[in-house]
Structure 1
Amino acid sequence: MQIQDLPYPDPGAPDTRSGPRFLWWLGRNQLAGQLKSLAWGLLHFLSVCGLPFCVGLAVQAVVERSGARLALTGGLLLLCGAGIALGDVMLHRTAVTNWITAAARVQQLLARRTAHLGSALTRRVAAGEVVAVSTGDVEKIGWFVEAVSRVSAAAVTIVVVCVGLVVYQPALGVIVAVGVPVLALAVLPLLPRATRRADVQREKAGRATELASDTVAGLRVLRGIGGEELFLDRYRRASQEVRTAAVRSARMWSLIAAIQVLLPGLLMIAVVWRGVQLAHEGRITVGELVAVYSSIMLLTYPLQHFQEIAMAYSFSRPSARRAARVLSLERATDSDGSRAACQPAGDLYDPRTRLLAPTGRLTAVVCGDPDMAGLLAERLGGHPAEKSTPVLLGGVPLDELPLDSARTAVLVQDKEPVLLSGSLRDLFDVPASGKVSAEEALAAAQCADVLDALVQGSPHAGDPLDARITERGRSLSGGQRQRLALARSLITDPEVLVLDEPTSAVDSHTEARIAEGIRKVRAGRTTVVFTSSPLLLDRADRVVLVHEGEVAAVGLHHDLMHSEPRYRAVVTRETDDEATALNGVLAELEEIEESA
């Protein structure tokens, strides 16, 4: 896989049982790229480590006054130089390719999982953690995957050089062959502590990222209630904790780096001391001594890669663990579906709560617990937070349908829908039946003032649909964003439309007109609205009260206001004392009517 071939046609099915298993899976899926990097790495490192032998031969040729051998050595030096240049360029090229393609594979997997889970993702994983995984963690994972082949090339080079030194000059080669493994393994006792410190740093950085993401997302609200400075202070403290943890981690890695400089120096001193003795005794030549000394000096270059792989693994392991956690999330229902693709129609029924939404009618649902309303809306959409009895549409369980069919049949608009940046035309470029035009949807959602605001912000837009929307619609008010999202949902014209508090941020006059617009556009279609607004409830064909997870009452808004105290308490937001007093008044009125 080359960079120009991205994205992958199929990124594959990852092994998400643990972080190390996920890293191993990534490496196996890039075996061809790893082998290319290993080959070029061997060429580069062996050429670098071949220079000392050439230098030793040249020195010995000068000592022996052999011009032919000196010329031969010069040719070998040119060959090594060419190998170094070519190997370095191609090693960098293949390493970067491995890095980018590994990161791209992880990002594709995350995007696929996000589309698979939909709105359930951020209810099961913090939004900040998803951001951290898709940005910084992806980079760390790619770093480790590409570093494996370079470290493998460095390890093979070290083995080849040690064996060559033993054959070339056994008296000194044995010292090098014993000392180099000690150098490579000397930092192992420090790695667990360095890894723990790196984990702490990554954990604190992840929390800081989550806090920053949540703060930015709620900045408008925070400013409205005067809580901006409070959250900024929290982020400053979290940022300082990250800085402190990073300094502690850097100290440990600097100690490891210092050891890897100190120990090779001690090995060179030992080799030179012993080599001088052997040369004085006439057991080795000056050229052999120079070759062995130079080999040890250049061995520090491939040895540095062992420190890099240790750092890469320490930083990528928690990143891979977080990525594996996100990628292991599954829908509570069968995503593939056991039925063939179809478009079911009929009543929407939830066996768990006994909620029934008759086909072609507007059903309003009142929940005393707002969180319960959100969970129930998810269930009706076919993607509950946990496994449970499936919701039925026309008698067909939604979890037996393929994911695409289920989402086409039932559309759920969250309480806080997201608007992506782009033009208004892009916002409305969604799968739709074609029966509801953009103009009809905008009119039903009362978006005239929204269009005016967008056109003013995009003076060069000839068509209002070409007006630009900023990221998340931040230039618009909460009510304007809510109405645009409602218009987008109306355009799709699904078989069943579930709306969770679609008018919570608009005034009562606009809300009344929106209620009429929804009835008109959704005529003959099944619509479920979770709300406690009397204006919406009064225009519903059927009102359902859900209390403590079950349907407690069904009727019309006017009738339930008089006959159901629990319904009245939720809609009017009356206190217990007020409810008791009102019940007393109603009881007295009934007695008066009976006596009359």
Structure 2
Amino acid sequence: MQIRDLPYADPGEPDVRSGSRFLLWLGRRQLGGQLSCLLWGLLLHLGIAGLPLGVGIAVQAVVDRDGGRLGLGIGLLVAFGLAIAAGDTMVHRVAVTNWITAAARVQQLLSRKTAELGAMLTRRVAAGEVVAVSTGDVEKIGWFVEAVSRFASAALALVLVCVGLVLYQPDLGLVVALAVPVLALAALPLLPRATRRADEQREKAGRATELASDTVAGLRVLRGIGGEELFLGRYRAASQEVRRAAVRSARMWALIAAIQVLLPGLLLVGVVVYGAVLALDGRVTVGQLVTVYGAVALTHHPLRTFEEIAMAYSFSRPSATRAARVLALSRTATTPSGPLPAAVAPQAAPGSDLYDPVTGVLAPAGRLTAVVCGDPDAAGRLADRLGGHPAEGGGEGHASVLLGGVPLDELPLDAARRAVLVQDKDPVLLSGTLAELLDVPSSGRVTAAEALEAARCGDVLDALAQVSVDSDGDPMRTRITERGRSLSGGQRQRLALARSLVTDPEVLVLDEPTSAVDSHTEARVAAGVKRLRAGRTTVVLASSPLLLDLADRVVLVDGGTAVAVGTHRDLLAREPRYRAVVTRETDGDPGAFGPLGDGLAKEPSKRLDEELRAGLREELQDELEGESA
């Protein structure tokens, strides 16, 4: 695999049972690159180890005044120098390729998993951890994968050097052969402590990253309540903990590096002393002593790879564990092997009812169904399930939503997403022009203009036209800043609604789609959505009377179960628990409506002004009659 061939057509199915298994799987996926790096690395290390042989032959030739052997020594030096040049160049080239291709494979796997899980990813994994995995962890994983082959070539070269020295000069070679394994494994007892300190550093760094991510995301709120200094103080404290942990980890790795320098130096001194004794006794020649001395001196280079592989594994294993944890997430919990292939998966018939067996909520095909929950968190969980994401925690919470009697999480992912679209209460607008924002996969039946009109985005278009850099003031070509920060909350919410309407899915689930707009705009938006979604299945999770009054049917969910179904006015008249949620009234009896009423009784009464409601209803009715005409 070459860098120019990236991205992979298929990054494969990773082994995510553990971090170590994930690293092993990555290594197996690029055996060709690993083998190439091993061979080039072996050429490099043997070329380095061969230099002393040429030097020894040349020195002995000078002592013996042998011109032929001097030429041989010089020739060997030239050959080994060329081998070193070629090996070093290719090792670097292949190692970088292995690093980048391994990192790219992990990034593709993470991107695929992110696309599969969607908004559910950050609800199952902290946003800071997602950032850490997709940035720093990817590089550490790639580092270990490429370092393995270089370590293997260095270890094999050391074995060959020791064997060669024993055959070349048994007295000195045997000393080196016995000492080199000790040098290579000398730092092994320190590795567990170094690994623990490195893990501690990464854990603290991950917490600091999460804190920073949360602080940036909530900066506007923090400024509103004057909490910037409080959170900045917390981040300063967290960053200081990271610094202290990093210093402790660096001290241990510095000790390991010192051992890797000290022990080879002691071996070198020992070889020189022992070799000098042997030379004085006439048991070794000067050339042999120079050769062995040079070979021992140059073993420092391959020995350093033992330290590097230990450090690479120490840093990459937790990173691989985090990556494996993210990649192990699944949108389904029904079968051990995941969703069925598209060729054999069941297919839901178009225009099918949507049914949640956990709560009993039914959304009939082609109708606007409103769902009222006293608990906003319960409404969010219901929206997730309606989008095909079973609840966490096992038990009945894992029961899949049924679309036309077919479990939604058994459908192929593409088919499920074409069938059901969920817009949560905090939709994100990506940076780009308005035309790019609305250029999403769709059925083609709803134009951008129709969606913008239904979501009542006229004031948004006017605002974008005023700041447009085009001479014609085209709002569709005006850039929207990241997350739509240049727009108000209501404008962002309506643009996100327009984007969902353009998609025109078979089933559209909206969680509090008008919570950031005023009552007048809310009534107009509700009318636009009802008109544009006529004949399509729409589910709205809300408690606004203006939305509920337009719904074909309203479902009240209390205690995680659908307890009442009817129209808005019907439920207002006969269901006290429904009135408690919609009007925030408890008729003076906090316990009259069960757990739902108990929680709502703690809030001040927010009785709606009857005249305002009546006026809005009349205006909305006039608008609907005008649109139908």
Q: Same fold (TM over 0.5)?
A: yes
The DSSP-based 3-state class of the residue aligned with 2:284 is coil
In structure 2, what is the equivalent of residue 349 of structure 1? 355
Q: Structure 1 stretch 450-459 or stretch 174-183: which is displaced more?
A: 450-459
The DSSP-based 3-state class of the residue aligned with 2:540 is strand
Contact in 2 for aligned 1:27/1:145 (Cα 8 Å): yes
The DSSP-based 3-state class of the residue aligned with 2:398 is coil
Contact in 1 for aligned 2:348/2:405 (Cα 8 Å): no
Q: How far apart are the structure 2 equivalents of 1:133 and 1:244?
A: 22
The DSSP-based 3-state class of the residue aligned with 2:562 is strand
The alignment status of 1:393 with 2:403, answered yes or no, reads yes
Q: How far apart are the structure 1 equivalents of 2:316 and 2:310?
A: 10
Q: Structure 1 stretch 449-458 or stretch 432-441: which is displaced more?
A: 449-458
What are the equivalent positions in structure 2 for 1:21-40 lying under 5 Å apart? 21-40=21-40
The DSSP-based 3-state class of the residue aligned with 1:345 is coil
The alignment status of 1:551 with 2:557, answered yes or no, reads no
The alignment status of 1:309 with 2:296, answered yes or no, reads no
In structure 1, what is the equivalent of residue 340 of structure 2? 336
Q: How far apart are the structure 2 equivalents of 1:34 and 1:25?
A: 13
Q: How far apart are the structure 1 equivalents of 2:411 and 2:312?
A: 43
In structure 2, what is the equivalent of residue 125 of structure 1? 125
Q: How far off its partner does 1:168 sit?
A: 0.8
Contact in 2 for aligned 1:413/1:500 (Cα 8 Å): yes
Q: How far apart are the structure 2 equivalents of 1:242 and 1:474?
A: 32
The alignment status of 1:191 with 2:202, answered yes or no, reads no
Q: How far apart are the structure 1 equivalents of 2:80 and 2:73?
A: 10
The alignment status of 1:483 with 2:494, answered yes or no, reads yes
Q: How far apart are the structure 2 equivalents of 1:465 and 1:301?
A: 61
Picking from 400, 414, 426, the partner of 1:404 is 414
**2:54 is aligned with what amino acid?**
C
Contact in 2 for aligned 1:390/1:397 (Cα 8 Å): yes
**1:263 is aligned with what amino acid?**
L
What are the equivalent positions in structure 2 for 1:367-386 lying under 5 Å apart? 367-386=373-392
Do the aligned partners of residues 408 and 581 (structure 1) sit closer, same or farther apart at CA in structure 2, a change above 3 Å counting? closer
**2:255 is aligned with what amino acid?**
L
**1:511 is aligned with what amino acid?**
E
In structure 1, what is the equivalent of residue 583 of structure 2? 572
Q: How far apart are the structure 2 equivalents of 1:457 and 1:242?
A: 44
Q: How far off its partner does 1:505 sit?
A: 1.3
Contact in 1 for aligned 2:352/2:365 (Cα 8 Å): yes
Gaps of 5+ in 1: 584-596
In structure 2, what is the equivalent of residue 440 of structure 1? 450
Do the aligned partners of residues 40 and 103 (structure 1) sit closer, same or farther apart at CA in structure 2, a change above 3 Å counting? same
Contact in 2 for aligned 1:455/1:461 (Cα 8 Å): no
Picking from 423, 443, 446, the partner of 1:413 is 423
The alignment status of 1:452 with 2:456, answered yes or no, reads no
Q: How far apart are the structure 1 equivalents of 2:313 and 2:467?
A: 48
Q: How far off its partner does 1:341 sit?
A: 4.9
1:243-299 deviations in whole A, cap 9, x for unaligned? 111100000000000111110111011111100100011111111111111111110
The DSSP-based 3-state class of the residue aligned with 2:543 is coil
The DSSP-based 3-state class of the residue aligned with 2:509 is strand
Point out 4+ residue stretches in structure 1 off by more than 4 angstroms.
340-343, 578-583
Contact in 1 for aligned 2:428/2:483 (Cα 8 Å): yes
Q: How far off its partner does 1:308 sit?
A: 0.5
Contact in 2 for aligned 1:343/1:405 (Cα 8 Å): no
The DSSP-based 3-state class of the residue aligned with 1:418 is coil
Contact in 2 for aligned 1:332/1:385 (Cα 8 Å): no
Picking from 426, 438, 442, the partner of 2:436 is 426
Contact in 2 for aligned 1:435/1:493 (Cα 8 Å): yes
The DSSP-based 3-state class of the residue aligned with 2:492 is helix
Q: How far apart are the structure 2 equivalents of 1:44 and 1:457?
A: 61
Q: How far apart are the structure 2 equivalents of 1:197 and 1:580?
A: 54
Picking from 523, 526, 532, the partner of 1:521 is 532
In structure 1, what is the equivalent of residue 485 of structure 2? 474
Matched positions, count: 583
Q: How far apart are the structure 1 equivalents of 2:573 and 2:268?
A: 95
Q: How far apart are the structure 2 equivalents of 1:576 and 1:122?
A: 40
The DSSP-based 3-state class of the residue aligned with 1:359 is coil
Q: How far off its partner does 1:351 sit?
A: 2.2
Report the TM-score, using the length of structure 2 for normalisation: 0.90
The DSSP-based 3-state class of the residue aligned with 1:329 is coil
In structure 2, what is the equivalent of residue 588 of structure 1? none
In structure 1, what is the equivalent of residue 520 of structure 2? 509
Contact in 1 for aligned 2:348/2:403 (Cα 8 Å): no
In structure 2, what is the equivalent of residue 139 of structure 1? 139
Contact in 1 for aligned 2:383/2:511 (Cα 8 Å): yes
In structure 2, what is the equivalent of residue 590 of structure 1? none
1:442-490 deviations in whole A, cap 9, x for unaligned? 1111222222333444413753222212222222222222111100000
Q: How far off its partner does 1:229 sit?
A: 2.2
**1:417 is aligned with what amino acid?**
P
Contact in 2 for aligned 1:410/1:496 (Cα 8 Å): yes
Q: How far apart are the structure 2 equivalents of 1:301 and 1:207?
A: 37
Q: How far off its partner does 1:439 sit?
A: 0.7
Counting aligned pairs with the same residue, the percent is: 73
Do the aligned partners of residues 187 and 456 (structure 1) sit closer, same or farther apart at CA in structure 2, a change above 3 Å counting? farther
**2:531 is aligned with what amino acid?**
K
Q: How far apart are the structure 2 equivalents of 1:564 and 1:136?
A: 55
1:525-554 deviations in whole A, cap 9, x for unaligned? 111100111211122121111000111111
What are the equivalent positions in structure 2 for 1:1-40 lying under 5 Å apart? 1-40=1-40
CA RMSD across the alignment: 1.8
Q: How far apart are the structure 1 equivalents of 2:580 and 2:254?
A: 65
Do the aligned partners of residues 157 and 456 (structure 1) sit closer, same or farther apart at CA in structure 2, a change above 3 Å counting? farther
The DSSP-based 3-state class of the residue aligned with 1:486 is helix
The DSSP-based 3-state class of the residue aligned with 1:577 is coil
In structure 1, what is the equivalent of residue 72 of structure 2? 72
The DSSP-based 3-state class of the residue aligned with 2:390 is coil
Q: How far off its partner does 1:342 sit?
A: 5.6
Contact in 2 for aligned 1:342/1:405 (Cα 8 Å): no
What are the equivalent positions in structure 2 for 1:259-278 lying under 5 Å apart? 259-278=259-278
**1:443 is aligned with what amino acid?**
E
Q: How far apart are the structure 2 equivalents of 1:341 and 1:347?
A: 13
Q: How far apart are the structure 1 equivalents of 2:236 and 2:463?
A: 35
Contact in 1 for aligned 2:372/2:554 (Cα 8 Å): yes
In structure 1, what is the equivalent of residue 624 of structure 2? none
The DSSP-based 3-state class of the residue aligned with 2:400 is coil
